[in-house]
Structures are given as structure tokens and as C-alpha cells.
Chains A and B, each alone.
Chain A
Amino acid sequence: MDGIIFLLPVALLLGAIFAGLFLYAVDRGQFDDLDDPPERILHD
């Protein structure tokens, strides 16, 4: 059970990395337009 003391921060860190990636993606405009990219791949 003591492992939790080590694992909990690790789990949170992993989560934080993904949250950070999400924030980075928002900042780069990946979520600005959710309607067109699905149409676009049909035509390239």
C-alpha cells in the first residue's frame, strides 16, 4: 500500500503532462475549428 505514496504523484505527473499537451494544442489553434478538418481529408 505504501507504493501509493510514490504512484500517486507519478500518476498526477502523467496526467499533468497530458493536460499540458492539451493546453499547448489549444494554444496552437487545434481546437479553433472542429467542423472542417473531417471534410478536408476527403479531398487531399
Chain B
Amino acid sequence: MSAPTIPGTASVSSAVLHGRCPHCGTAVEGADDAFCCHGCEIAAAIIRGAGLERYYQERELCAPRPEPVSGAWDRVPVEQREDGCSEARLVVDGLRCASCVWVTERVLEQTPGVTAATVSYATGRATLVWNPSITTLGALARRIAALGYRPRPLTEAAKPDRDLALRLGVALFASMNIMLLAASVYAGWWSTMEPRYAALFHWTSLALATPVALWCAAPFFAGAWSGLRHRQLQMDLPIALGISILYGHGLIATLRGEDSYLDSLAMLVALLLAGRMLEARGRRRAAEAAVALAASVPPTARRETATGLETVPVDQLRHDDRIDVGAGDEFAADGLVTEGSGQVRMALLTGETDPVPVAPGDRVVAGALLLDGALTVRVEAVGEETLVHRMAQGLEAAADRGVEPTAGDRIAPWFTAITLAVGALTFGGWILASGLQPAIARTVAVLVVACPCALALSQPLAAAAGLGATARRGLLFRSADALLRLRRIDLVAIDKTGTLTGGAPRVVEADDATLRIAAGLERYSNHPIGRAIVAEAARREIPLPRATEVREVAGAGVSGQLDGQTWELRSGGPGSVRLRSTGGEERTIRLADEARADAAGTVAALHGLGLKVVLLTGDHAVIAERLASATGIRETIARMDPAAKADWVRARQAEGHHVLFAGDGLNDGPALAAADVGIAMGHGAASSVLVADGVVSSDALGPILAGLRASRASHRVIGSNQRRSLVYNALAVGAAVAGLVNPLVAAVLMPLSSGMVIWGASRVETLVRKEETWTG
């Protein structure tokens, strides 16, 4: 759900903001210390109570306005530590500056029961350690929310991969030492070295190289083995082959007192592990962000009992229980309304934002939001039986795209076959020409320099660089695969509500005086229209007045007194609200769900890349056409239901198109799953995020464009890297066949070729920037 952005981003220079809310900086009428809403007042009280007033002097940007949060905190994986404490990780949105991080950490640390709290500014991750007998994760999350930041549960907390770091550390330690020893051994070729010293150096090298070959390189052997078992020749196979030959040769050479390639072996393993680590780091960041879901089913519900109400976890709800749902709550279960009335927002399920009025006899579904009013609901389906859960499950199954073999994996079988053939020819040729001894040495040299270290690094490194470049621009991919698939896209289909548009109404027409009164009435409202009015008033810097006797009537509007008159704010038909005074004055405010600010620019740039852009929507053709012409989209298909969108995507694919689909609702799920690349808006339905390949983490369309550019840049770099490393391999193998390669030559060539590939990957960001300056 995207809340209207409050311009709390006003910069602050002193602790006291004149005529503004001291916490969020929204303009307010009255005394200097008047808060704009209860949320800000509570946030400031928490900060003052913790003795952290310094925050107000040091912050560079005002805080966001606090909003209530819900989330499946009980589903966050919690680690039980040995000291009896629990540990878990959350994502925190809305951290705007280092002061935000500071105040959040300190407030958490001073909360009873918390033993440690760290918040990361770079990644927005909070790591919490608390005593479960004193507090709960939900309570801590609400504490973060009370400050104005938005915590989200991390459903699959990926722990940093320490195993890879350990292997890399050992490989680096060993390879550095072996290199030092090897330098003196090679120096011994030109001066003299006593055999006993040479033997000492050889044996020491072997001792150092053994853990590298047997333990550090284990991931490559495991990869090659699993590839073989699945009858797939992957890049790991020639690598594992190369490592075995290098180590086997080193073992025999050391026994015979000859020079070995062990320095090359250790260096190669260290480089490959470093490449893996960079790749894993980029991927972990992206994947973690993608699984951070705003889970839309609340973890508890208020159940009616014989004596009153009790709060129970959702999994204890049974059929025919009666639950009470208040304004601002999400439904915990599917059910039938038995009492009360109100307006329900189903945007997560249907994609359309207009509230739906409900009354006794209507059905409601879990995950929908009650905007106003109060209801009693008889539970008909809970947990896994709910509509939202069944749809999400079906989508997850549909989105299983499998893993595409990388370009490297496609080359691998040929590569292995050619290497083995050349090795056999070399052996045969030299055994005829000069006997067994030189034949073995040269064959080993061929197999050593053919080890495709640079080739294996070229794709993962460039893809990791591409993932980093897109992540910095607000698009997070679940896998490098999806990023690379983007290049083939020739058709971009965009959903209307919440994707092309912001998903929430915005004020498009109102004079300042009208807006001031309306904002005064709606000051404490949670209704999207009320929030839009307050947000627009804040944007225009109209100080919020304080209305008295404010009364909200479910589904009807709001009334209150201001400036000595009684005002009434009511719906005035589609897209407008009417403000009426007792004196008979009548004014209108028009609202619309408008295209995102960067929509037209993004569409133009997509056209510039040669892509076709189509608008798909479940809405009326008239509204869709108007938006399409405002943003420059040439083709619109209106009145499509979820299945029709997915069918449309499949039909285009059948015509040979590669389709990118961008959407946000649960209704977009089938199309997101069917598309070649599905991109979800981060504030959309949890299930759409689950089935998408990528998630836009900012409130904009531009990141999709950045993703397309990064994909092209990554492909260019992968291509040139692969050509370079193939040329290197061909030349080096040629030299080895001719008998020109010895351990020293190999020790120089190998890091050179890998360094070339690493340099190539570092150019991805440069290429993306270049395209951005060319095409705007």
C-alpha cells in the first residue's frame, strides 16, 4: 500500500520548528510546539523519554509521520541464542539519515528486555536481540513504527555466508605463502639453489596447497559432482578437473623433487572463491530485500467470547468464531459480515483502489483493509483456506521458472571436450617426437592453462556488478538470471493502478482555503482520501488548523467545527469530495489516481530503446486511454481480469515476443508469473512480490528502465569478457602444446587473465551511467 508522501523531508536546522509539527515538520496553525497528529506526539514523547533530544538538533531531515503497522511478526524466523535471548532480523523502511538510525537504535536499546539492537543504514536491516520473557518482536516492531519508521518482517532471513569467507581466507593465506616460496624457487633457476632447500620449499608448498585443493576448492567439486549426477556439464566440471590435475601433478612433482604448478593452483582457487563471494554478496542483498514482505494478514484477531473480547493469534481462530474489526484493521480471516458497516479497501486483491462499502450479509476476505466503520465478522475460512493464501500458493507454483543454464555452462561441455582432445593430441604428438617424459610435462601444461578460470568468472562477476547497479537505482532482483533475461525483452506490459499510477488518490484540483478546512477535518484520518488531502495541504505548506467536534461517519464522510462554522465533507461522486458549511457554502476538491511523476519520461525512454509499451488494466477504457495519452503509451487494453492479463502475456509469447510485465496487486500475480520477466512494485501485494523476478523498492517506474540498461551493459561486458578469455585460453593452450609453458609462465598468465575479467566487470556501472547520460 503506498501512503501519500508527507513532505517531512523539509530540512531542519534547529530543534524548534516555527509553525510546524516538531516531529515531522508538517505546517500547523497555533503554538510552536503543536503536533500535527497523535502519532508525532507519541514519537516525540518516546524520544524525549529516552533522553535522546539531541536527535532533533542533529538530524538533517525531518522524520516521516508515524503510521500504524501490521505484519506477520510471528512468522519471522527467530533464532534462540544460548544465553536464552531471541534474535531476529527486520527490514526498516523510511530511514532517511544517519540520525534516524541513531535514534532508532538508542530507543530500542533502552526498551526493557532488549539486550542488543543494531540498525544498518546501508541496507535498512535491523538486528534485534531480546529477552522473550520480557518483550516480543511485535512489541519492538510497534516501537519502531511509533517513531515513524516502517518495520517489515523478513520471512527468510539469509545469514551472511561465513563458510565462503573462511574458505577464501585460507586460500588467500596459502596462496600468498606459496607465491613467496615459488618466487625463490623460480629465482633458483638462474642462480644456484641447494637441492635440500629446493626440497624444503617444494614440500612446504605442498603442505600449504593441500588444504586449498581438498577443503577450499570443495564447492567446485560439489558443483561438478551434482552437475554430473544430473547429467549436465557445468563450468564447475572443467574447474574441478583443472584443480585435480594441478594438485595431482604437484604431488608427483614434489615426490620427484621437480617444480610444480602449486602456486598457480592456490591462486586460481583464491580468485575463483573471491568471484563466488562477490556474486553471493550481490545476490544475497537483492534476494533478502525481495523476500521482505509486508505480510497482509494480521497475526492476531479480536474474538468475541461469552463475556467480552479476547485477542487471539490468527492460528487459533476457528470457523464460526465472531471477530471484531475496527477502522484501520486488516481482516484476519475470510468471513461474512454479521453486524456494522464500513468501507473496505481491496487493492491488494483486485488492484483497484476505490473503497467498497460493506454491510451485513457481504463477504470480506483476509488481507483486505477496513478503512472506516466497525464490523463483526463470522469466520468462514482461516489460514491456509483463505482466498489470499490459496491464490498466493497457486502463483508460487506457477512462477517456478527453473534455472536457466548460464552462457558459461553452455560453453562448458564443448570446452571440456576440446581441452581433453587437445591434451590427448599433445600427449600423442610429443610421445612420438621426444618420449614419455616431455609428453607428460606438456600435456599437464596444456590442461593447466586450459583451466577456464577467467571464463568461469566472467559471467558471475558481470552479473553481480549488474545486480549492484540496478539495486543502487531501486530495482532488486531475486537472481542474476532474471537480470540477464531482461535483455531479450521486446514488449513491456504495465498494469495501471499502483504501477503506472501511484495507487492512491491525489488532490488535483482545490483552492487553498478549501484545502485548509478539509485538511483540518481530516487531520487524524486514516482514510486514503483524507490522507491525500492532508498530504496536499502539507505540500502546499498550508498550516493545519485544528477542527473541533470532529465526527467521522462510516461510509458517509466527516464533520466538524472550524472558524466558527460547522463543515461537512462528503463524497461528491467519482473522483471528488464536497465540502459544505452550515451557511450553505459549497466547495469541491477533485482527486485522481494520477500517473507517477516519472511515468512519461520512462515510457519515452523505453520507446527509445526500441521496446513496445502496452497498458493493461481492469479499469474502464476511458480512464486508461486518458492515462495512456498522458504518458505517451500507444496501446491500451482495458477491462482485463487477472486471467485475461496472463493469457494476453502468453499469447504474445506464442507470437515470439519476450514480455516484461510490471504490476503490483495479487490480481497481477498470474501475469507476473507468466511473463519472461515479472517486476512487482515493492509496496504492492505480498504475493505479487513473491512471484516476481524483481521488486522496485522506490515509488517510481524509472528503476525498470535502469534494469533494462544494466542488463544490456552486463551482457556487453560478459560478451567481451568471454571473447577475451577464450582468446587467452586459445593462445595459452597453443603455447603449451608447443612446449613453451612452464610453472613460471603459468603463474604469470593466470592472474593476468582473471584480472582482465575483473576489470571488465567493473565497467558495468560505467556503461550504465554512459547510457543514462545519452538517453536521459
Contact = CB atoms under 8 A, between A and B. Distances in A.
A15 B204 CA distance: 13
A39 B98 CA distance: 8
A17 to B, nearest CB: 11
B160 interface: yes
A40 B204 CA distance: 43
Contacts of B118: 36
Contacts of B177: 12, 15
Interface stretch (B119-127, B296-304, B470-478, B713-721): B119-127
15 contacts: A5-B200, A12-B204, A15-B173, A16-B173, A22-B169, A26-B166, A27-B166, A31-B162, A31-B165, A33-B160, A35-B120, A39-B98, A39-B122, A43-B99, A43-B102
Contacts of A4: 197, 200
Nearest to B58: A43
A19 B292 CA distance: 36
B254 to A, nearest CB: 16
Interface in A1-26: 1, 4-5, 8, 12, 15-16, 18-19, 22-23, 26
A39 B40 CA distance: 27
A40 to B, nearest CB: 8
Contact of B169 (A26, A36, A39): A26
Contact of A23 (B98, B120, B169, B208): B169
A35 B123 contact: yes
B120 A33 contact: yes
B170 interface: yes
Nearest to A15: B177
Contacts of B123: 33, 35-36
Interface of A: 1, 4-5, 8, 12, 15-16, 18-19, 22-23, 26-27, 29, 31-33, 35-36, 39, 42-43
Contacts of B121: 36, 39
Contacts of A36: 118, 120-123
B194 interface: yes
Contacts of B101: 39, 43
B194 A19 contact: no
A22 B165 CA distance: 10
Interface residues on B, range: 20 to 34
A23 B163 CA distance: 10
A35 B285 CA distance: 12
Given A33-B160, A42-B98, 4 more contacts: A5-B200, A8-B204, A31-B160, A39-B121
A23 B197 contact: no
Contact of B170 (A12, A23, A43): A23
Nearest to A36: B120
A27 B162 contact: yes
A19 B171 CA distance: 10
Contact of B197 (A1, A18, A26, A35): A1
B162 A19 contact: no
A15 B170 CA distance: 11
Contacts of A16: 173
Given A12-B177, A32-B160, A23 B166 contact: yes
A39 B120 CA distance: 9
B425 to A, nearest CB: 41
Contacts of A8: 200, 204
Contacts of A23: 166, 169-170
Interface in B125-175: 160, 162, 165-166, 169-170, 173
A19 B120 contact: no
Contacts of A31: 160, 162, 165
Interface in B428-474: none
A42 B176 CA distance: 35
B122 A35 contact: yes
A36 B98 CA distance: 10
B170 A19 contact: yes
A33 B123 CA distance: 10
A5 B197 CA distance: 8
Interface string B748-770: 00000000000000000000000
